[in-house]
Structure 1
């Protein structure tokens, strides 16, 4: 482990950021521990989880020198930053506990599950003196950064189209991921937060004047649709009560329209993410695949259209998951900047507010018995369902 790193100016040596990871599920063990242990800007000091089996799994990796059972064992004297990687419903409670004790905390999506939890995070950060860092790694992708650069030349922003559709990728995990009480929602919370976060640099701090959403659950309880790349996904057997697909349309107070499609499973062959930015002077379109799924598009493609002409923008090749390393590159600088305290809350409020309103606006589901294949509702003596 290195003993020092360079400051952004390259002139003043300083010690690495001492970091602990709370939550030893798939994300903690597969995303955060390996990358933090290899990153020169960090000293990984502890892994934390209350479950004995999770602590044992973390210890087996050999990456963290200490494996603890309670986040309260972490102190500002021994840790500079805590990465919170617990199940969704614990994100805000755990982060609030740490912030209230003066610890700096990084929480990836979903940072919280309700607008009320967002206010609890704001209060804990203000009272405890710690710093809340938050956001989606998707914003740190090289292709997304290139899209943002091109968007500056598109004139007045009119519409952003956001879509992340998986072929088969329901993240059942240890069972909590598809339980509304524990996850807070389905694909909208999971994939939608990433998508909205990539749009925020283009929208600023949006005030959504109109929000309409719809959800469906055609695939979420089909075992064949589970995310095979997620270790442990075969363990859960409970019936899922969240959506696998969410569709939404939002309009800012400034008149910018945002369409969103987030789907854990579909009839597509490959997982694909598409971001389309339309302006008065042109349109930029990015097609790629977010996340770790093996069902990927061949590579990212970014094009810009103006007056019928299409320009292909060259993109660098990078390995799957590179955005997480790039996010880690940025965190020490954010942590050292006094302006970071309180700065994350505007974007957190915008995203969770939009998600909350999408769920609130969806029509109440009408319960109908399933129609056997090859038989219509009319042939069964009922009315055909409205579409």
Structure 2
């Protein structure tokens, strides 16, 4: 691989927030990737800093994000709880530090504008993290769309059999998370739709939310040890978010989109289903996003045209490969002269749609 940084050296990276995502996804991959070097790991929690120091000896650990030196960092990967995304990312951007921000990038349209202003003032680039678009099966699905004629409808669903994260912690407190399954899983689904919708805005949005499973212990996430056992950091609080969201949206160009995001359900397996209906055919992908072990054994992509359905061969890849691909692409994104402002445009539409789904759901509940 060629040098990642214009100066001929690896990209000096700070990982901000040392929870499950940082320790299980980002730090191990960054340590192995030749285009990156970890210059700092940041978290106010002493136990988290100690854990990283043990697992990744030699990595400088800091207690506060304001201790990150812009002269020593080319990129910050921000993986903090949702309610801190805008504050921390904006602070870094204003200091001139490019930011790769985990989804959800922001919790309100007002926060999206704060990020846009910080990017402009600091002259640093905001990159939005959302792994699903980097999966090989999603790539094959998107590549097949050219055979389908004019896109008429998208069906997007990510339904877990069980997978409520951190019940009683920040994930299930609206003030800290911004919402439940719609914010957590739905953001990935909207990200899949983005290449198919282009710059089209949603003119019609309606939605409903429910919470039939969220209080059940049997519905809790099983693959994140810190949440299954309690991470000792987040005090138990109110559970006031949804475990399921359903929505129907229509763009100004007449493309309709149905969305179904669930942390828990009556299903046996965790299944993601993406279907694209066009004027000349349809494509359907069944797979399982994320790291859940309760998954389909392999993804399945089919094309249907003229009354016949046939499978499309898909490459096999280990769970989590999509995160490796994100890192592979980051150096080019950081150098792309057309990059500034690009992420925030998609962010504005996504958070705007999520806000309108919640508004529609509240209007029904308040009657």
**One fold, TM greater than 0.5?**
yes
Which one has the bigger helix percentage? 2
Cα deviation 1:229-281 (Å, max 9, x = unaligned): 11211326444110000000000000000000000000100000000000001
Deviation for aligned residue 1:174:
8.0
Cα deviation 1:300-331 (Å, max 9, x = unaligned): 00000001111211100000000000011001
Q: What residue is the counterpart of 1:15 in the other structure?
A: 9
Q: 8 Å contact 1:33–1:64 — kept in the other structure?
A: no
Is 1:329 the equivalent of 2:328? Answer: yes
Unaligned residue ranges in structure 1 (runs of 5+): 368-387
CA distance, structure 1, for counterparts of residue 51 and residue 168 of structure 2: 14
Q: What residue is the counterpart of 1:375 in the other structure?
A: none
Cα deviation 1:115-150 (Å, max 9, x = unaligned): 000000000000011110113110000000000000
Q: What residue is the counterpart of 1:152 in the other structure?
A: 146
CA distance, structure 2, for counterparts of residue 301 and residue 39 of structure 1: 30
Deviation for aligned residue 1:41:
1.0
Is 1:262 the equivalent of 2:243? Answer: no
Match of 2:55 among 58, 61, 65: 61
Q: What residue is the counterpart of 1:86 in the other structure?
A: 80
Q: 8 Å contact 1:46–1:64 — kept in the other structure?
A: no
Structure 1 residues 179 and 63: CA distance shift in structure 2, 3 A: farther
Q: 8 Å contact 1:22–1:85 — kept in the other structure?
A: yes
Q: Which has the larger radius of gyration?
A: 1
Q: Secondary structure at the match of 2:147?
A: coil
Q: 8 Å contact 2:167–2:220 — kept in the other structure?
A: no
Deviation for aligned residue 1:223:
1.4
Q: What residue is the counterpart of 1:114 in the other structure?
A: 108
Match of 2:91 among 80, 97, 102: 97
Deviation for aligned residue 1:363:
4.0
Structure 1 residues 282 and 54: CA distance shift in structure 2, 3 A: same
Cα deviation 1:29-71 (Å, max 9, x = unaligned): 1111111111111111111001212211221212562000111
Cα deviation 1:333-357 (Å, max 9, x = unaligned): 1001122111111101011111011
Q: Secondary structure at the match of 1:145?
A: helix
Q: Secondary structure at the match of 1:152?
A: helix
Match of 2:132 among 127, 138, 142: 138
Q: What residue is the counterpart of 1:379 in the other structure?
A: none
Q: What residue is the counterpart of 1:202 in the other structure?
A: 196
Is 1:71 the equivalent of 2:65? Answer: yes
CA distance, structure 1, for counterparts of residue 121 and residue 7 of structure 2: 31
Deviation for aligned residue 1:14:
2.4
CA distance, structure 1, for counterparts of residue 135 and residue 143 of structure 2: 13
Structure 1 residues 54 and 7: CA distance shift in structure 2, 3 A: closer
Matches within 5 A, 1:1-387: 5-6=1-2, 14-62=8-56, 65-172=59-166, 175-233=169-227, 234-235=229-230, 237-364=236-363
CA RMSD of aligned residues (A): 1.8
Q: Give the ranges of 4+ consecutive aligned residues of structure 1 lying more than 3 Å apart after TM superposition.
A: 236-239, 363-367
**More deviation in 100-109 or 66-75?**
66-75
Unaligned residue ranges in structure 2 (runs of 5+): none
Structure 1 residues 241 and 25: CA distance shift in structure 2, 3 A: same
CA distance, structure 1, for counterparts of residue 211 and residue 200 of structure 2: 29
Q: Secondary structure at the match of 1:352?
A: helix
Deviation for aligned residue 1:217:
0.3
Q: Secondary structure at the match of 1:318?
A: coil
Q: Secondary structure at the match of 2:171?
A: coil
Cα deviation 1:66-118 (Å, max 9, x = unaligned): 00011112222111100000000001110000000000000121000000000
Number of corresponding residues: 361
Q: 8 Å contact 1:114–1:352 — kept in the other structure?
A: yes
